[in-house]
């Protein structure tokens, strides 16, 4: 049964978390020298499976066979010793350590921490195309370089089997192409890859074989040369792909948000984070902001929300200058805000759902009057959100952290759409949300837009951006560098604009 | 550059004034009271922070009790001791006294002025029980006997001794905590020194300000103050700093200078044998005598005859000669002592 | 002038530090000359600074080890208290080297307890630290009552223990003393300050100071140190690379406790103390922590912090309010120099602030003759507070300091 | 319901563990735990122990409330100690200097104490909000400086007076006292009721007001609070000022109910006790009250242990152990609860079964 040709074999892997079965008897076979893709919707259990293979989590049941030998990983150290390396979905880098230190960490035994190690890093930097100096702090580097360091880390440890967990999520198309080129060269050198992505085109372009996982179980394997996107998607969700496309335009000519000459200096004295940003969002319009992550989207959104002070320029809401107003005053003036990181920025994890309904609304009716809170009103309104937005929860007294990500996001969107906002600022509203919830959130956004809501949308998901927006603006280096018509632009064209390659 | 350093050394020779002469008759210390039988008493003792074994005034009180046990027939089993805790609230002290009172102890001796309110409260509650309080005379009740001392008088004598012995005409004082009690030592010491040698330079410093009791427990900082004074030209330092005294003695040993101890005859303290040679003399405050005399007086029903204040005249304070380092100046010191007892010299308790 | 400044900015770190140190000595020298307070730069003050700074330095190093691994250690105080007991207990029986070991072991036990609470049970670090200080103090008092009373007749004091014999570096010490005695501007001041470093030395002092470079080398130049720091910067990344984060945190916090315990031993073995005294630690653990923050979580920085603390404390103890008063004069000079430097760099607001601060300090200096002893006693704390207020925004604590960490639960 | 159970189980478990460990310590040291327990328990009926316990508990309660207000926002006001002492000293000076009709006089003293406490904490509050200085370090430094300030204020040359070997502030005339309720030999301080009222106020503030919500939100997640429109700086400053103001009252029960003057021997250490009790009571007004009573009772009965010859330091160990085991127990219980709740949520919203798809 055991085949020597198999780089990795996972048999009957089961992993239970409190309340979730993340992996339920998963089987996976990866042959030497192949690029093996894993597909599945959010929360399907892909990352968990890979973390098990990488020794970061121990399976409750099942066996791992590497190069024909039964193994038992107690920690990543064991997996690394067995020639397995992993590039995580979220960067695993220490900002305050240098490039070299980040690479060396945990692998000091290989080449020491002196000259030999540096030489080896220099050598491998060329392989992954990293240009940064070794003694530079990682905090000074951009996303693409960080990704390269992550891969460098894996190579430095002499891994032959490399796991790439959603490596392309933060890259623009050109960077994706470069990454794929690297993957192919390395494949030629005999490396084996496990590759995870939600982007089916990418998966089909790079993989030799695809395994689909749904709700913790292996659904089946597919051949990328023959399978279509639609078939893959159906395997993943058991239904058709939802589409973010906006049907008819509801744009009016009433300006809701007007931003003039917005600028923001960098706190450490570097290049300005924002510079001369002008934009207008009309009632009933969705303005999408496209850009490579880290080009000022977060700063733009937070400046408009009043969370970053000392900005230049003006922000007008319905004609009133709110540049000097506090975040609370802006919220009271009718801005709703769905931040990009819900668990850190939108929710109080240890508090019950109804207390989370108060957050951001603690100053105005129906939740509060003259400094006093009306908890009964908060509870009633939370019930409404749970009902209307289909938040799956046994009640409104459970703590927010106990909900799944998608349900948390629905709660946040529901909250921010209550109190009749005139403007919604939504940053990555469906990031990390599963397909069903995604469709629900899109539907709510469209409904509010039809009712005259102005929406400023930031998203890294170009399909979502193109599908939902009435107007698209491209941000790069803290400046708006161009626009695009969502009706005609393709993700590839948009990606080109985002990298500035077109200008 | 000219720095004006060196202090008294620049003043050249230290001129000393001759001691006054007083007719011996008017300056004789009072004789000790006859021994009464204390076998029927149950004595309670409430210590201040530090308690028995602090090698300081609590220990002296304990010694008084022990002497009563040894000499007055008091039963050891009929004594009870309890100790205060640092920073405790007043009701803790009150409670301690009350528990002793409820336990049938009579008399009860409270050691330290921290017990003032407690004694006042409990003595009012138990008018038939006799109380004594050491270092405090603010409680005005018939059943409360204050046991207070003329610390300044004893300090005067060691100040005089320091002035007689110094070769730099500069001496130091190191107080543990800058409170009125310790200031009395300071004032008497300075008066004694300047009376003997009018040009003498007396440098005084405290380890911690009032209310910060760490000064009695910080030998490290005491060492630094003392070595600062020694480096600055002082060759004798009087340490009135509780447990911190050992820091002064250590500094004296390092600098090959002298120090003066406090409360008990520190030359004979078993803790201090390594540094005893630096201890020229000690200013003695006979809390033991006061406690012993008090128990004796209660047993003999002569409390009213106890002195209002323990001073040189009744041997309540004094100086020690163990080690023999001040033997040569004893006549002068005795002359000053006689002058104080006779009222010829009035020692002030404040500067 | 600007060119000189630019060059100064490009100087290597050690040269800049030397330059700043020289400037400070110059300021002190001017102050001594103008105020006549020779104690400001005397060898005795320098020795006092070294002795008083040592326990703080060791506590600070303890803080450094724990906090570099991401664990806030406000329990240093309690660990120092445990260390004083351990040192006295071992020391009175087997001598000063045993005392050091005793302090080390008892402090380490306190550290281990902190590690169990914060790493294994994820208790808030400050909460655990407070509890450990409470427990350490109580336990120590109990043990002292139990063990020391029979031998010392005193529950609050240990028997006297034998200390280390002091030594001076032959040749250098005498030379510096001679130089200092000449009272020449600058040269004698420098000699006085340096002589504190070569006279009255004890093994524990030498070890304590040596632990600064040793800590630097271990933490920044070894694989173990890299792993330990990674646990404070990004435990999840470290874990993903096979580093046993929990183990490193445990080791770091235990070492931290051991160093604090050594600080307790230093206190017990301090010339003049030579024994356990109840409450003798007196907040030095907290001050060590402050010195470490002052030093921006770096060994050299915390050395400067504890030296500053020891210096101000030694000065006020030896020379009292007048010397602290003279320090105000020195502070005015520093403020003016800083204002001029900033003005040259065209940082006008900063320069103005420094100038105004300088003027304020000068006004205080001018209006009183001496600093009341009540405030002079706490000059070290005041200085720490002011320096932190001025410099806190340049500080860079470890990125994940104080955050809970659970194995396998990172994102 | 399960939360309530957790809140009760954790401290009870912790106290049991602490008691057990203390028993072991006692046995090792040759004393009888049984004697210790009976001596401590016998205190309930003896003398004024009950009254003193209640009075002390009120003091501890105020101190712990002061600490808890900061804790809600993860602010560690280690400086309650310094704030309460400076406030008590200044209030005593003012109270002993002015002449006013009864109620007014008392109110003035309380207001002065509140303001002084707040003023003393304003330094670390502003340093924290505007300069980012850790309040832990700055308040520790200020505790020491407070001692110096008090020593300066209370000097005979400034505002103090000599009384025997003690220095006190001018005694507060009877018009400034806060009358108590006589019980047996003692009297329950009137301030006990003020403390209780403050507890209710604290509960209302946290649970029912916008500020309380913002405070808790900031404590739980500073980032989420900022997004929710909470002004972090203002909240830090207000929270610390409130904490300092309550701290300012800590010295008053004894000052207005018993001592009527601030002296060199006025008690210290309540600030640190307050930290321990706030932890014990999990920042909950009722929990803190129970913690304060337990702590005060242990304190008071420790006096009796001394009298039967058991080292009363055992009580210090007991208190330290209780705090440490309580925080650990809370943490464990919290983890278990969270797991249980997630399981419950997952059960309520079951994942749809994967449909059969063949490849
Ligand atoms: N440490 C954990 N504790 C509890 N539950 C977890 C943990 N990690 C993952 N889960 C849950 O296990 C399930 C599988 O998660 P996993 O991260 O493997 O999904 P995924 O397929 O990688 O999703 P995504 O596409 O969002 O990355 C999810 O329901 C997730 O919430
Ligand atoms: N640190 C954690 N500790 C315990 N449980 C966790 C943790 N993180 C996630 N979970 C569990 O994982 C589930 C989902 O959380 P997560 O944030 O991973 O969202 P997600 O995987 O994106 O969810 P989904 O895609 O299903 O909407 C929750 O049920 C929660 O119980
Ligand atoms: Mg997920
Ligand atoms: Mg994943």
What does the alpha-carbon distance between residue D267 and residue A118 come to, in Å, rounded to a whole number? 62
Of D209, D230, D341, the CB nearest to A371: D209
How far are the Cα atoms of A336, A455, B285 from residue A413, in angstroms, in the given order? Answer: 9, 13, 80
| DSSP annotation of D255 | I
> What number is the average pLDDT over the span C329-352?
85
D43 inside domain: no
D315 inside domain: no
A83-142: pLDDT as tens digits: 899 988 778 888 888 999 999 888 887 777 778 888 888 888 887 778 888 888 888 777
Q: What is the pLDDT of residue B348?
A: 92
Q: What is the pLDDT of residue D47?
A: 67
Distance A42 CA to ligand 3 centre (A): 5
User: Mean pLDDT score of chain B, rounded to an integer?
Assistant: 87
Q: Which residue has the tokens 């009376």?
A: B195
Model confidence at C406: pLDDT above 50: yes
C385 vs C177 pLDDT, higher one: C385
> Which residues lie across from A372 on neighbouring strands?
A369, D209
The maximal CA–CA distance of chain C, rounded, in angstroms, is 70
> What number is the average pLDDT over the span C202-231?
93
Strands of C149-190, DSSP E: none
Residues of chain C with pLDDT > 90, as a percent, come to 34
Q: Taking CA atoms, what residue in C is nearest to A73?
A: C242
User: Mean pLDDT score of chain D, rounded to an integer?
Assistant: 85
> Which residues lie across from A64 on neighbouring strands?
A10, A71
Question: Are residues B249 and B278 in contact, defined by beta-carbon separation less than 8 angstroms?
Answer: yes
Q: What is the band of B14 on the pLDDT scale with cuts at 50, 70, 90? A: confident
Distance D220 CA to ligand 4 centre (A): 26
> Which residues lie across from A36 on neighbouring strands?
A194, A209
3-class state of residue C271 by DSSP: coil
Q: What is the pLDDT of residue D320?
A: 84
A387-439: pLDDT as tens digits: 888 888 888 888 888 787 778 888 999 999 988 899 999 998 887 676 667 77
Q: What is the pLDDT of residue B163?
A: 94
C272 vs C395 pLDDT, higher one: C395
- A276 is written with which tokens? 């001369």
Q: Which residues are CB-neighbours of A226 under 8 A, at least 6 positions away?
A: none
Q: What are phi and psi of B182, to 5 degrees?
A: -70, -30
Of C241, C398, C411, the CB nearest to A153: C241
- C408 is written with which tokens? 């396998």
DSSP B257-309: -EEEEEES-GGG-GGGGGGGGGEEEEEEE-HHHHHHHHHHHHHHT-GGGS-SS
Q: Is the dihedral of CA A110, A111, A117, A123 positive or negative?
A: negative
The counts of H helices and E strands in chain C are 18, 0
Q: What are phi and psi of B137, to 5 degrees?
A: -130, 30
Chains meeting B at 3+ CB pairs closer than 8 A?
Answer: C, D
Nearest CA to ligand 2 atom 22: A405
A180-222: pLDDT as tens digits: 888 888 888 888 999 988 777 788 888 999 999 887 888 888 8
C4-19: pLDDT as tens digits: 444 555 667 777 778 8
Q: Are strands A471-476 and A454-458 parallel, antiparallel or unpaired?
A: unpaired
Judge A/B contact: 3 or more CB pairs < 8 A. Answer: no
DSSP A43-105: TSSHHHHHHHHTTSS--SEEEEEETTEEE--SSHHHHHHTTEEEE-SS----TTSBHHHHHHT
Q: Which residue has the tokens 């390092």?
A: B254
CB atoms within 10 A of CB B146: 22
A426-476: pLDDT as tens digits: 998 887 676 667 778 888 888 888 888 999 999 887 888 888 899 999 988
For ligand 3, a single-atom ion, which residues have Cβ within 5 Å?
A 42-43
Half-sphere exposure of A343 (CA within 13 A, CB side): 13
Question: Are residues D91 and D113 in contact, defined by beta-carbon separation less than 8 angstroms?
Answer: yes
The maximal CA–CA distance of chain D, rounded, in angstroms, is 98
Of C222, C238, C398, the CB nearest to A106: C238
> What number is the average pLDDT over the span D329-345?
81
D157 inside domain: yes
Residues of chain D with pLDDT > 90, as a percent, come to 39
Model confidence at A239: pLDDT above 60: no
**Domain limits at D203?**
61-296
> What number is the average pLDDT over the span D322-338?
83
Does B5 contact C at CB distance below 8 Å? yes
Does C185 contact B at CB distance below 8 Å? yes
Q: Which residues are CB-neighbours of A249 under 8 A, at least 6 positions away?
A: A470
B295-318: burial string, b at 16+ Cβ within 10 Å, e else: bbbbbbeebeebbebbbbbbbbbb
Q: Which residues are CB-neighbours of B332 under 8 A, at least 6 positions away?
A: B19, B160, B164, B196
Question: Which positions in chain C touch B51 (Cβ < 8 Å)?
Answer: 155-156
**Most informative mutation of A18, A19, A43, A49 for ligand 2 (most atoms within 8 A of CB):** A43
What does the alpha-carbon distance between residue A250 and residue A256 come to, in Å, rounded to a whole number? 14
Q: What is the pLDDT of residue D3?
A: 58
3-class state of residue D101 by DSSP: coil
Q: Which residues are CB-neighbours of C384 under 8 A, at least 6 positions away?
A: C287, C290, C291, C294, C305, C308, C309, D137, D141
Does B85 contact C at CB distance below 8 Å? no
Lowest mean pLDDT among A62-76, C18-32, C231-245: C18-32
Of B1, B206, B217, the CB nearest to C185: B1
Q: What is the band of A502 on the pLDDT scale with cuts at 50, 70, 90? A: very low
> What number is the average pLDDT over the span C313-328?
86
D329 inside domain: no
Question: Are residues D11 and D315 in contact, defined by beta-carbon separation less than 8 angstroms?
Answer: no
D100 inside domain: yes
> What number is the average pLDDT over the span D192-215?
93
D318 vs B230 pLDDT, higher one: B230
Q: What is the pLDDT of residue A270?
A: 67
D325 inside domain: no
Model confidence at B7: pLDDT above 70: no
Beginning with the edge strand found earlier in the chain, give each strand of the sheet holding B144-147 in spatial order.
B79-83, B43-47, B108-111, B131-134, B144-147
- Total domains in chain D come to 1
What does the alpha-carbon distance between residue C285 and residue C73 come to, in Å, rounded to a whole number? 10
CB contact under 8 A, C226 and A95: no
Model confidence at A143: pLDDT above 80: no
Q: What is the band of B11 on the pLDDT scale with cuts at 50, 70, 90? A: very low
D247-291: pLDDT as tens digits: 999 999 999 988 889 988 888 889 988 998 998 888 899 999 999
User: Mean pLDDT score of chain C, rounded to an integer?
Assistant: 86
Q: What is the pLDDT of residue B173?
A: 96
HEC readout, A268-281: CCCCCCEEEEEEEE
Exposed, middle or buried by CB within 10 Å (0-12, 13-18, 19+), for C321?
buried
Q: What is the band of C409 on the pLDDT scale with cuts at 50, 70, 90? A: low
D6 inside domain: no
C79-136: pLDDT as tens digits: 999 999 999 999 999 999 999 999 999 999 999 999 999 999 888 898 899 889 988 9
D217 inside domain: yes
Q: What is the band of B152 on the pLDDT scale with cuts at 50, 70, 90? A: very high
Q: What is the pLDDT of residue D281?
A: 87
| DSSP annotation of D261 | S
How far are the Cα atoms of C276, C335, D27 from residue C340, in angstroms, in the given order? Answer: 49, 9, 69
Lowest mean pLDDT among A63-67, A368-372, C52-56: A368-372
Q: Which residue has the tokens 């000392």?
A: A310
Question: Are residues C156 and C278 in contact, defined by beta-carbon separation less than 8 angstroms?
Answer: yes
Distance A51 CA to ligand 3 centre (A): 13
The counts of H helices and E strands in chain A are 17, 22
Helices (H), B207-272: 219-231, 245-255
C390 vs A383 pLDDT, higher one: A383
Model confidence at D1: pLDDT above 70: no
What does the alpha-carbon distance between residue B216 and residue D223 come to, in Å, rounded to a whole number? 48
3-class state of residue D47 by DSSP: coil
> What number is the average pLDDT over the span B293-306?
89
3-class state of residue A380 by DSSP: helix
Residues of chain B with pLDDT > 70, as a percent, come to 93
Of A150-154, C23-27, D24-28, the range with the highest mean pLDDT is A150-154
- How far is Cα of residue D315 from the mean position of the Cα atoms in its chain? 18
- A118 is written with which tokens? 């540096």
How far are the Cα atoms of B2, B28, B124, C323, C333 from residue C29, in angstroms, in the given order? Answer: 13, 58, 63, 13, 11
First to last CA, chain D: 49
Strands of chain B, DSSP E: 43-47, 79-83, 108-111, 131-134, 144-147, 170-178, 201-209, 236-240, 258-263, 279-285, 317-319
Q: What is the band of D69 on the pLDDT scale with cuts at 50, 70, 90? A: very high
Distance A48 CA to ligand 2 centre (A): 11
CB contact under 8 A, D133 and C130: no
C71 vs C14 pLDDT, higher one: C71
Question: Are residues D72 and D219 in contact, defined by beta-carbon separation less than 8 angstroms?
Answer: yes
A285-309: pLDDT as tens digits: 999 998 877 788 888 999 999 888 8
What angle (nearest 5°) sits at the alpha carbon of residue A389, between those of residues A385 and A391? 85
What does the alpha-carbon distance between residue B12 and residue B197 come to, in Å, rounded to a whole number? 12
Q: Are strands A320-321 and A311-317 parallel, antiparallel or unpaired?
A: antiparallel
Model confidence at C44: pLDDT above 90: no
Q: What is the band of B6 on the pLDDT scale with cuts at 50, 70, 90? A: very low
Model confidence at D224: pLDDT above 60: yes
Q: What is the band of D329 on the pLDDT scale with cuts at 50, 70, 90? A: confident
- How far is Cα of residue A406 from the mean position of the Cα atoms in its chain? 13
Q: What is the band of B2 on the pLDDT scale with cuts at 50, 70, 90? A: low
CB contact under 8 A, A355 and D213: yes
Q: Which residue has the tokens 């308040």?
A: D139
């Amino acid at each position: 049964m055991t085949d020597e040709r198999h780089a990795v074999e996972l048999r009957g892997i089961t992993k239970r978390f409190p309340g979730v079965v993340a992996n339920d008897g998963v089987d996976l076979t990866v042959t030497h020298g192949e690029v093996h893709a894993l597909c599945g919707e959010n929360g399907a259990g892909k990352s968990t499976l890979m973390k098990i293979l990488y020794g970061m989590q121990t399976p409750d049941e099942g066996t791992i066979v590497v190069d024909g030998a039964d193994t038992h990983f107690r920690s990543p150290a064991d997996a690394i010793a067995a020639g397995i390396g992993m590039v995580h979905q979220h960067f695993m880098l220490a900002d305050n350590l240098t490039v070299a230190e980040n690479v060396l960490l945990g692998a000091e035994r290989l080449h020491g921490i002196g000259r030999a190690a540096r030489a080896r890093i220099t050598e491998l930097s060329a392989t992954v195309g990293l240009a940064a100096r070794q003694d530079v702090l990682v905090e000074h580097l951009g996303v693409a370089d960080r990704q390269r360091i992550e891969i460098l880390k894996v190579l430095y440890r002499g891994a032959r089997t490399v796991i790439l967990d959603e490596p392309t999520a933060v890259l623009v198309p050109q960077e994706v192409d470069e990454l794929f080129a690297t993957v192919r060269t390395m494949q030629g050198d005999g490396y084996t890859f496990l590759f995870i992505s939600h982007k089916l085109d990418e998966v089909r372009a790079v993989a030799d074989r695809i395994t689909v996982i749904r709700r913790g179980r292996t659904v089946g394997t597919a051949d990328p040369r023959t399978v279509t996107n639609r078939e893959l998607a159906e395997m993943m969700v058991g239904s058709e792909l939802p589409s973010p496309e906006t049907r008819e335009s509801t744009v009016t000519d009433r300006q809701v948000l007007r931003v003039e000459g917005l600028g923001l200096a960098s706190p450490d004295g570097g290049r300005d984070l924002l510079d001369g940003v002008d934009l207008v969002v009309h009632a009933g319009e969705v303005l999408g902001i496209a850009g490579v992550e880290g080009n000022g989207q977060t700063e733009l959104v937070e400046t408009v929300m009043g969370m970053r002070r000392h900005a230049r320029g003006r922000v007008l809401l319905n004609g009133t200058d709110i540049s000097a107003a506090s975040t609370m005053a802006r919220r009271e003036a009718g801005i709703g805000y769905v931040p990009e990181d819900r668990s850190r920025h939108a929710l109080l994890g240890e508090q019950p759902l109804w207390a989370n309904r108060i957050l951001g609304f603690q100053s105005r009716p129906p939740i509060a009057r003259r400094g006093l809170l009306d908890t009964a009103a908060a509870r009633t309104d939370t019930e409404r959100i749970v009902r209307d937005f289909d938040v799956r929860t046994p009640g409104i007294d459970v703590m927010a952290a106990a909900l799944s990500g998608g349900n948390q996001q629905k709660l946040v969107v529901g909250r921010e759409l209550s109190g009749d906002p005139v403007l919604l600022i939504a940053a990555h509203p469906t990031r990390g949300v599963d397909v069903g919830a995604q469709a629900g959130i899109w539907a709510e956004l469209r409904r509010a837009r039809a009712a005259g809501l102005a929406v400023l949308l930031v998203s890294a998901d170009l399909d979502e951006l193109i599908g939902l927006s009435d107007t698209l603006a491209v941000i790069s280096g803290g400046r708006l560098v161009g626009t695009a018509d969502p009706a005609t632009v393709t993700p590839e064209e948009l990606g080109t604009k985002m990298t500035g390659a077109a200008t | 550059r000219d720095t004006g350093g060196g202090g008294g050394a620049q003043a050249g020779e230290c001129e000393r004034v001759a001691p006054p002469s007083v007719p011996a008759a008017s300056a004789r210390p009072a004789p000790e009271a006859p021994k009464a039988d204390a076998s029927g008493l149950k004595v309670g003792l409430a210590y201040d922070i530090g308690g028995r074994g602090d090698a300081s005034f609590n220990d002296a009180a304990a010694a008084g009790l022990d002497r009563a046990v040894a000499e007055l027939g008091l039963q050891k089993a009929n004594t009870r001791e309890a100790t205060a805790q640092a920073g405790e609230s007043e009701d803790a002290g009150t409670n301690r006294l009350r528990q002793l009172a409820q336990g049938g102890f009579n008399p009860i001796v409270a050691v330290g002025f921290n017990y003032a309110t407690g004694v006042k409260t409990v003595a009012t509650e138990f008018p038939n029980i006799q109380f004594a309080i050491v270092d405090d005379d603010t409680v005005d009740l018939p059943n409360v006997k204050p046991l207070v001392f003329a610390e300044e008088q004893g300090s005067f004598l060691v100040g005089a001794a320091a002035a007689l012995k110094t070769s730099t005409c500069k001496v130091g004082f190191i107080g543990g905590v800058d409170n009125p009690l310790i200031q009395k030592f300071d004032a008497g010491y300075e008066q004694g020194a300047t009376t003997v040698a009018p040009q003498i330079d007396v440098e005084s410093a405290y380890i911690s300000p009032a209310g910060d009791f760490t000064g009695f427990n910080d030998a490290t900082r005491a060492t630094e103050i003392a070595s600062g004074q020694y480096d600055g030209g002082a060759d004798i330092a009087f340490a009135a700093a509780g447990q911190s005294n050992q820091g002064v003695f250590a500094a004296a040993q390092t600098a090959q200078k002298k120090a003066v101890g406090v409360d008990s005859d520190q030359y004979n303290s078993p803790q201090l044998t390594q540094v005893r040679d630096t201890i020229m003399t000690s200013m003695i405050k006979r809390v033991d005598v006061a406690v012993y005399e008090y128990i004796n007086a209660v047993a003999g029903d002569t409390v009213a005859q106890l002195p209002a204040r323990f001073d040189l005249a009744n041997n309540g304070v004094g100086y020690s000669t163990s080690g023999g380092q001040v033997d040569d100046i004893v006549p002068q010191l005795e002359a000053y002592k006689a002058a104080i007892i006779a009222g010829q010299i009035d020692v002030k308790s404040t500067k | 002038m600007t060119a000189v400044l630019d060059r100064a900015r490009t100087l290597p770190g050690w040269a800049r530090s030397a330059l700043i140190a020289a400037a400070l000595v110059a300021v002190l020298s001017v102050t001594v000359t103008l105020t006549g307070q020779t104690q400001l730069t005397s060898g005795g003050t320098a020795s006092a600074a070294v002795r008083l700074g040592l326990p703080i330095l060791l506590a600070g190093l303890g803080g450094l080890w724990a906090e570099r691994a991401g664990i806030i250690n406000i329990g240093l105080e309690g660990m120092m208290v445990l260390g004083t007991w351990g040192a006295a207990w071992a020391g009175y029986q087997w001598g000063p080297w045993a005392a050091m070991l005793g302090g080390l072991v008892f402090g380490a036990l306190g550290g281990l307890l902190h590690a169990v609470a914060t790493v294994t049970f994820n208790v808030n670090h400050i909460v655990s630290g407070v509890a450990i200080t409470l427990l350490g103090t109580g336990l120590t008092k109990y043990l002292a009552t139990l063990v020391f009373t029979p031998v010392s007749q005193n529950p609050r004091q240990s028997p006297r223990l034998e200390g280390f014999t002091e030594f001076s570096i032959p040749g250098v010490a005498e030379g510096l003393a001679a130089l200092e005695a000449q009272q020449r501007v600058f040269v004698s001041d420098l000699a006085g300050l340096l002589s504190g470093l070569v006279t009255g030395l004890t093994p524990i002092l030498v070890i304590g100071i040596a632990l600064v470079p040793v800590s630097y080398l271990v933490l920044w130049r070894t694989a173990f140190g890299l792993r330990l720091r990674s646990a404070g910067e990004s435990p999840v990344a470290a874990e993903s690379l096979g580093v046993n984060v929990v183990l490193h945190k445990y080791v770091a916090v235990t070492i931290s406790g051991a160093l604090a315990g050594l600080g307790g031993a230093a206190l017990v073995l301090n010339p003049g103390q030579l024994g356990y005294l109840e409450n003798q630690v007196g907040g030095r653990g907290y001050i060590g922590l402050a010195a470490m923050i002052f030093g921006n979580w770096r060994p050299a920085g915390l050395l400067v912090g504890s030296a500053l603390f020891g210096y101000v404390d030694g000065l006020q103890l030896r020379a009292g309010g007048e010397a602290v008063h003279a320090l105000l004069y020195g502070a005015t000079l520093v403020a003016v120099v800083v204002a001029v430097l900033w003005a040259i760099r065209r940082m006008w607001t900063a320069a103005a602030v420094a100038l105004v601060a300088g003027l304020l300090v000068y006004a205080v200096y001018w209006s009183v003759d001496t600093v009341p002893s009540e405030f002079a006693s706490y000059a070290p704390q005041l200085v720490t507070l002011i320096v932190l207020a001025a410099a806190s925004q340049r500080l860079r604590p470890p990125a994940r300091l104080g955050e809970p960490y659970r194995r396998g639960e990172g994102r | 319901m399960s939360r309530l159970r957790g809140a009760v189980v954790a401290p009870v478990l912790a106290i049991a563990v602490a008691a057990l460990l203390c028993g072991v310590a006692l046995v090792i040291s040759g004393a009888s735990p049984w004697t210790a327990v009976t001596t401590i328990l016998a205190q309930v009926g003896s003398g004024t122990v009950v009254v003193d316990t209640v009075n002390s508990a009120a003091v501890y309660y105020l101190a712990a409330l002061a600490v808890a207000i900061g804790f809600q926002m993860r602010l560690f006001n280690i400086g309650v100690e310094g704030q309460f002492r400076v406030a008590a000293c200044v209030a005593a000076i003012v109270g002993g200097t002015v002449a006013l009709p009864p109620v007014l006089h008392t109110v003035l003293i309380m207001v002065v104490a509140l303001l002084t406490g707040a003023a003393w904490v304003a330094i670390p509050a502003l340093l924290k909000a505007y300069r980012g200085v850790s309040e832990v370090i700055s308040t520790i430094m200020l505790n020491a400086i407070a001692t110096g300030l008090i020593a300066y204020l209370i000097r005979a040359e400034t505002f103090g007076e000599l009384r025997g070997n003690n220095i006190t502030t001018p005694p507060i005339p009877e018009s400034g006292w806060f009358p108590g309720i006589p019980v047996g030999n003692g009297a329950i301080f009137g301030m006990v009721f003020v403390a209780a009222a403050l507890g209710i106020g604290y509960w209302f503030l946290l649970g029912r007001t916008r500020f309380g919500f913002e405070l808790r939100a900031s404590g739980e997640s500073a980032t989420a609070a900022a997004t929710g429109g909470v002004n972090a700086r203002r909240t830090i400053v207000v929270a610390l000022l409130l904490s300092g103001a309550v701290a300012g009252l800590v010295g008053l029960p004894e000052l207005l109910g018993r001592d009527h003057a601030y002296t060199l021997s006025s008690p210290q250490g309540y600030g640190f006790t307050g930290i321990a009790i706030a932890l014990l009571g999990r920042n909950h007004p009722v929990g803190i009250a129970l913690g304060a009573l337990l702590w005060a009772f242990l304190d008071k009965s420790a006096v009796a242990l001394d009298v039967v010859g058991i080292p009363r330091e055992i009580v210090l160990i007991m208190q330290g152990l209780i705090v440490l085991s309580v925080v650990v127990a809370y943490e464990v219980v919290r983890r278990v609860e969270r797991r249980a709740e997630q399981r419950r949520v997952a059960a309520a919203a079951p994942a749809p079964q994967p449909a059969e798809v063949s490849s």
